Amino acid sequence: MDYASVFSSPVGQLTIMADDDSVYAITFAKKDIIGLTENDLTKRAWKQLHDYFEGRLTVFDFPIKQKGTAFQQTVWQKLLGVAYGKTVSYAKFSAHQPLAIRAIAAANGKNNIAIVVPCHRVIGSNGKLVGYAGGLWRKQWLLQHEREVAQQGQTELKF
């Protein structure tokens, strides 16, 4: 069965979607959730997102699972290793597979669990903010928020 919660955040409305076992989407995109109710997982995700935006939470611990290819799953798992308040360039993120930089960027763009799977922490190799499905202004806001809370990190690489 599917469940949903809606969360009004400083960067717009987020829709949290889950099944009985895991959260499978957190998105800025409008979703048809008519007839769906909340469950413990969507409520838990809502609470943790609230704490994230309040600056009280830096690591999410609810179960997540999104559909994707084995390659996409690998990229999303690696995204979870990008520390709160930090950024990494696409070149550095794909250093283990330099010929796959475009495929890695495409997989990053297919991430359906915004903020929790922190694709917003990956920036252009030139240090600029690039490509965020939620819009670059949200990416900038999220990075700035994390930098302020962590009192570290940067939104652009300094060369």
> Structure pTM?
0.90
Q: Give CA separation, 53 vs 3, 33, 92, 152, in Å.
A: 22, 23, 28, 17
Provide φ and ψ at 154, rounded to 5°: -155, 155
Domain locations in the chain as residue ranges: 3-54, 70-150
pLDDT in tens, 86-133: 999 988 988 887 778 888 889 999 999 999 999 999 998 888 898 888
**Which one is catalytic: 14, 119, 142, 149?**
119
CATH of domain 70-150: 1.10.10.10
**Is 119 one of the annotated active-site residues of the chain?**
yes
E strand residue ranges, the chain: 3-9, 12-18, 23-27, 88-89, 122-123
Q: Which amino acid is at 140?
A: Q
